[in-house]
Amino acid sequence: MTRLKRDTKETSIRLAVQRSGGSIRVETDDRFLSHMVETLARYAGLGLELEAAGDLRHHLVEDVAIALGTALRKETPATAARYGWALVPMDEAMAQVAMDVGGRPYYRGPLPSRLYQHFLESLAVNLGATLHVRIVRGRDRHHIVEAAIKAVGLALRQALQEGETVFSTKGSVSLEWEG
């Protein structure tokens, strides 16, 4: 389990996350954000405890994504499957996601909500993931965003599965800080 505290003058975040499942408890100042983070955790098969408060909705959504991505990066095993994908329908909406948690951050959308597009981009960058989200169809913004979050969760569940070897032709990447 990875525990993280992240405080700025704009937000205060406490979270604990584990990829092997467990209970999910999400409390934020924004009900839709709480719903989306809980949905992401459930579909990803994560155990998650999150408490977050912020001054502005934008700061809260962005900083929760940064903290969650940072914690998930630490939870990613060296022998992760790396890749995950999903196609999720929700009523009239359909979202398709492809993900690689191999340490190369990149996000490509778009979503019909700039705030949740920013959420997914911040999550991907801080997780060190390549994340492609394609909206196949939909009219209702809520349904489109929720279908995308569910698809990200399912793709993340696959990508975080632990394998037996490092899934890369490069093998393990070793970094040493000097100076």
- Condensed to tens digits (0 to 9), the pLDDT of residues 80-114 reads 999 999 999 999 999 999 999 999 999 999 999 99
> How far, in Å, CA of 41 to CA of 154, rounded?
9
Q: Which CATH superfamily is domain 2-159 in?
A: Imidazole glycerol phosphate dehydratase; domain 1 (3.30.230.40)
Whose structure tokens read 């700025």? 8
Whether the model pTM is above 0.85: yes
Q: Provide the residue ranges of all domains of the chain, joining segments of one domain with +.
A: 2-159
Q: What would the two tokens of residue 138 be?
A: 């939909």
Whose structure tokens read 């959504």? 61
Whose structure tokens read 């975040």? 13
